[in-house]
Amino acid sequence: MTSEFYRNIIIATDGSENTQKALSYGIEIAKLSGATVHALYVVDTSSFSSIPMDAGWESMYEILKKEGEKAVSEVKKQGEAAGVDVREVIEEGHPSSAIIEFAENNNVDLVVLGTLGKTGLDRFLLGSVAEKVVRGSKVPVMVVRSGESS
């Protein structure tokens, strides 16, 4: 079965356990609709904007990039096992902005991402990529709670 409704789906991942449930949902929707999945990891360079570029910054960047490669590779592995076409994408920048921009520039029909579902002070202090994507995206967003208690 294929659908004209979902042709391109982003599964935004940070490689953590919290994204596993969202990954499963995204792959299942892609499988049912015949969509292509864009496994998207954003190397958060916004945290380093005030730090001078030096060997320490570069080594941290490389660690984050390798983490991203591992995360999108896991999405690809699970997608292929389900018969879904998965493209691995690594972007740089602020995660919520990069996800929104990628969605708008690549004819994406749905963004799927996970959240811890934090509330109150935890959310205020940490911020929420999922919340920022929901508020800023012109593309429909599916937020999947990890199932862990917050």
Per-residue pLDDT, 49: 62
Q: Is the confidence at residue 66, as pLDDT, over 50? A: yes
Segment 54-77 shows an average pLDDT of: 88
Per-residue pLDDT, 29: 97
Q: What is the pLDDT of residues 76-109, one digit of tens each?
A: 999 999 999 999 999 999 999 999 999 999 999 9
Complete domains list, the chain, with CATH: 8-145 (3.40.50.620)
Per-residue pLDDT, 125: 42
Q: What is the largest CA-CA distance in the chain?
A: 52
* Lowest-confidence region among 61-75, 98-112, 117-131: 117-131
Per-residue pLDDT, 150: 44
Q: Which positions ≥6 away from 137 have C-beta within 8 Å?
A: 99, 100, 103, 104, 111
Identify each DSSP E strand in the chain by its residue range. Answer: 8-12, 36-44, 86-93, 110-115, 141-145
Alpha carbons 103 and 108: distance in angstroms, whole number? 5
Q: What is the pLDDT of residues 6-54, one digit of tens each?
A: 999 999 999 888 889 999 999 999 999 999 999 999 998 876 666 666 6
- Is 36 in a helix, a strand, or coil? strand
94, 45, 23, 83 alpha-carbon torsion, rounded to 10°: 110
pTM: 0.87
Confidence of residue 146 (pLDDT cuts 50, 70, 90): confident
Q: Is the confidence at residue 113, as pLDDT, over 50? A: yes
136, 29, 31, 84 alpha-carbon torsion, rounded to 10°: 30
Q: Is the confidence at residue 63, as pLDDT, over 50? A: yes
